[in-house]
Every structure is written in C-alpha cells, then in structure tokens.
Chain A
Amino acid sequence: MFRFLRYIAIFLLIALMVVLQTVTTRYFPKLSSLDLPLIAVLYLTISRESLFWTVFSGSAVGFVQDSLSPSPLGMNGFTKISIGCLAYMANSIFAIDRVATRLALIFISSLLAALLFSALRVLFLNRSEMIWGERILWSGVVNTCVGLPLFYLFDKILHSSNE
C-alpha cells in the first residue's frame, strides 16, 4: 500500500512539473529558462538511486515535453535520460545529499542538458548556431535557484508518503 502511494506521488510529481513548466512560462516569460521536468528527473535519480527511475522518469517527462512543444519526439527524452544517467553516476561517487553537492549537481546538469539539447539541434535539425552562452548560463542559475528548494519540498512530500 505504501509503495503504491509512493508511486502515485512520483507520477503526480512528474505530471505536475510538466504542467507547472507550461504555466510558468505562460505567465512569467522571464523564467523561460527554467526546466522543472529536468529538476524532477534529477531528484528522482538521486533519491531513488535506481537507473530504472532515471530512464522511466526521463523518457516520460521528455515524451510529454516534446508533445507539448514544436521539438521532434525524442529530443527531450534523450537529453533527460543522458543527464539523469550522469547524475546517477555522480550520485554513486559523491553521495549527493548535502546543499553544496545538490547545488553543484543541479547547476552542472542544467548546463550539460542545455548544451546537449543545443548539440542535438545542430546535428539533427540543421541549426547553424550551437551555443547560446549567456542563455545557457542563465538556465543553470535559474534552475539551481528554483531546484534547490524544490528538492527539499520533494523530500518532505515523498518521505511523508513513505511514512
């Protein structure tokens, strides 16, 4: 029963992040660099400590994100899974459970996700420009500022559903 509740909470979390992403960018265009689904994938990766959750959440979030934007299906899923796997490896080495390590994880993952997505656009969509330097950096800063408190909020929600 508890496990079932936990799964429900995780599904809701994933759905909520994608919905919030579209609502946030609609009403707060300055937060368009925010990537809430990526934050959810990173959190599930380090909290569940299982590659299954990384691949599952990454592909689910990516699929929904792609279907709600003009991007070709699979681009977001590939990016999220790749970054999630890197986060999984980092977690197995550094045990990411403190403020500093979480901060570094979100910031670096956001930069890598943006770079990877940009590279995919160049490779597969024939886009000429590769990096939008300032925008990528801004994305890292925004995701870190929002992601860190969200990680603690997720801790509270998912741990309370465990109890």
Chain B
Amino acid sequence: MEVAAPMLKGFVGSFTGLSRIWYGYIDLREARQENLRLKKEIASYQQAVVQYEEQIKRLNRLQTLDELDTTLNMPAIKARIIGGDANQWYSSRIIDRGAEAGIGRDSAVICPDGVVGRVVHASRRTAVVQLVTDADSGVGVLLENSRAQGVLRGEGKKQASIDYIETNAKVLVGERVLTSGLDQIYPKGLLVGYVTAVGKRQIFQQIDLAISVDVQKLEEVLVLKKEPQS
C-alpha cells in the first residue's frame, strides 16, 4: 500500500494533468470554431446593416420624390435609373419604366434638385432620357429675377449656357434659372440651375450656368406623363 500509493498518486496526477491539457485543447478548438462562427455572424449582420442603411436612404429619396409629386399636382411616375450612356458623344440615362407605364417621347424627367432631361425613346418597359447637360438638348428657360427668357444649351458636362438673352437684361451671378414652359416639354417654374458667369456680346449676352442636378449621382427620378394631345 505504502509503495503503491505514491505511484497511484503520480499516475492519477499525471492523468489529471493530461486530461486538463486534452480538454483545454478541445475547448480551444471549440473556441476557435465559435470565434470563426461569430466572425461570420458579425460579417452577415454588418452586411445586413449596410443593406438596411441603403434601404433607408432609398426610402428617403422616394419620400422626397413623393413630396415633389404631390406639390406638382400632375400625373407622374417614379422610375429608377438602370443604365448610362451607350454612346460617348451623348449624355443620357436609361430608366426602368417605359410606354407601358404611360411614358412617351418628350416626357419631362425631374428630381427634387431640378430638371433632369426629357425622354427621347420609350420602349415597353424602358426609356432613354436625354439629360439637360447633353450638347444636343435645349430647354426653354427664364431667369428668376430679371424674367429674361432664353434657351439652355448643354455642354456635355455640369456646365451649360443660355442663348438669346438680350444685352439690356440685368442678369446677376447666382440668379436662379427656371423652366419657362414655352418648349411645351417642361412645366413652368422648375429649377434648372444657377448663373455662374455673365459676359456681354454684340446682341445677346453670354450666360453660363451650373446645372442644379448632379446627374452622376441620380438614382431615382420622376417622369411627368405626357398628356394626350387633342
């Protein structure tokens, strides 16, 4: 007994030590697996948070469009931008609503920041919008304070110019430029941009303006339904 007891103690002690190491190893493995699982869970939650934030931003944008829709008091359709320029020489966007939703050629496209452009082709479910920044676009505009009327011409970028403003009109830098409604495409009084420079020429003034809408950041727009012509 006296001889066997220390051996037994030693055996039990070393067994206990070994079992501790073993269980520690097992726990460590489980902890590692759990750590990996939790990391995955956190990543999925973070992804979900990003998605929810995007949804909230989208809902906010749609709410602003709804508010614009109600203030306009005209039949309008919300559309999402799904494509950019198919051709490098034009400034255009493709939207996800078309003739099926009542969109036709020359339907005005606007957003809360101002005028975006007009529809140039409409297929059943999509439409091509020519932006106001396009070099071939033209918008009938009037200056808010001087009430002088002219035609806006895009320059392919965020800048544009206004033609046919007579030299006797007093135009100020920073003045708001609105749609005049004379082109029969855009309703009167929509914001187009702000005057950035005024120069004198022989008959008409050289007026440059910055377009109020950042077309590169546009995601949703409001398309005004074209009323059927009698």
Listed in ascending order, the chain A residues whose CB lies under 8 Å from chain B are 18, 21-27, 29, 32-35, 64-71, 76, 114, 117-118, 121, 125, 127, 139
The smallest beta-carbon distance between B178 and chain A, in angstroms, is 24
The listed residue with most A CB atoms (<10 A of its CB), out of B83, B87, B93, B123, is B87
**In chain B, what residue has the closest Cβ to A68?**
B86
Please list the 9 inter-chain residue pairs (A to B) with the smallest Cβ-Cβ separation, ordered nearest first: A26-B84, A25-B84, A22-B83, A68-B86, A69-B87, A70-B130, A25-B85, A69-B86, A70-B120
Q: Who on chain B is nearest to A143 by CB?
A: B88
Partner of A76, one of B87, B135, B136, B216: B87
**Contact status of A22 and B88, CB under 8 A, knowing A29-B216, A69-B128:** no
The contact sample of 28 A-B pairs, CB cut-off 8 A, is A21-B85, A21-B86, A23-B84, A24-B84, A25-B84, A25-B85, A26-B81, A26-B83, A26-B84, A26-B93, A29-B84, A29-B216, A32-B88, A64-B86, A65-B86, A65-B87, A67-B128, A68-B92, A68-B94, A69-B85, A69-B92, A70-B90, A70-B120, A70-B130, A70-B136, A121-B89, A127-B135, A127-B136
Give every chain A residue within 8 A of B82 (Cβ-Cβ): 26
For window 93-151 of chain B, which residues contact chain A by CB distance below 8 Å? 93-94, 120-121, 123, 128, 130, 134-136
How many residues on B have C-beta within 8 angstroms of the other chain's C-beta atoms? 22
Instruction: Check B85–A22 contact: CB distance below 8 A.
Output: yes
B83–A68 touching, CB < 8 Å: yes
A68–B88 CB distance below 8 A: no
Chain B residues with Cβ below 8 Å from A69 are 85-87, 90, 92, 128
Query: In the complex, what residues of B have CB within 8 A of residue A127's CB?
Result: 135-136
Which residue, of A22, A66, A68, A71, has the highest number of chain B Cβ atoms within 10 A?
A68
CA distance A35 to B88 in the complex (A): 7
Chain B residue with the shortest CB-CB distance to A28: B84
B128 interface neighbour in A33, A70, A121, Cβ under 8 Å: A70
Complex formed: what's the CA distance from A58 to B128 in Å? 22
Task: Please name the residue on chain B nearest to A73 by beta carbon.
Answer: B121
